[in-house]
Amino acid sequence: MANLLRDKVKHPDESRSLIRALYKSDADHLPNENTGMLTVLLQHMANHFLMLSSKKYARS
């Protein structure tokens, strides 16, 4: 996942810390057994770029 962000950040070394922050953030998990989907709602993140990046890659 960090490699996906490397070309989007000013300092490529920051991508690992951004992913680490994503994994440590609070989230709500909403399983849907009918469709076999798990929706993960991320709580507010302090880093605006991480919030935008996570939205982009979550849809993939």
CA distance 28 to 15: 23
DSSP, collapsed to helix, strand or coil, labels residue 47 as coil
Q: What is the DSSP letter of 10?
A: S
Predicted pLDDT of residue 50: 61
Domain range summary for the chain, segments of one domain joined by +: 2-58
Residue 49 reports pLDDT greater than 70: no
Give the model confidence (pLDDT) of 2-36 as tens digits.
777 777 777 777 778 877 887 888 889 999 999 99
